[in-house]
Amino acid sequence: MQDQVEAALTAFADQPLHCISAGRTDAGVHALNQVVHFDTPVERTEQAWARGTNRYLPADIAVQWSRFVSDAFHSRANALGRRYVYVLLESRVRPSLEAGMVGWTYRRLDGEAMRAAASGLVGRHDFSAFRSAECQALTPVKTLRSLAVFLHHMIRNVMGCLIAIGSGARDAAWLAEVLAQKNRALAAATFAPDGLYFVGPYYDAGHAIPEQTPAMSWLP
Asked if 194 is an active-site residue, the reply is no
Residue 149 pLDDT level (bands cut at 50, 70, 90): low
Q: Which of 14, 26, 39, 110 is catalytic?
A: 26
Helix ranges, the chain (H): 2-13, 46-54, 111-119, 154-166, 173-181
Residue 201 pLDDT level (bands cut at 50, 70, 90): very high
Q: Are strands 123-126 and 30-31 parallel, antiparallel or unpaired?
A: unpaired
Domains of the chain: 2-78 (3.30.70.580), 101-192 (3.30.70.660)
pLDDT in tens, 123-134: 999 988 888 777
Mark residue 200 as left, alpha or beta (left: phi above 0; alpha: psi -120 to 50; beta: remaining): left
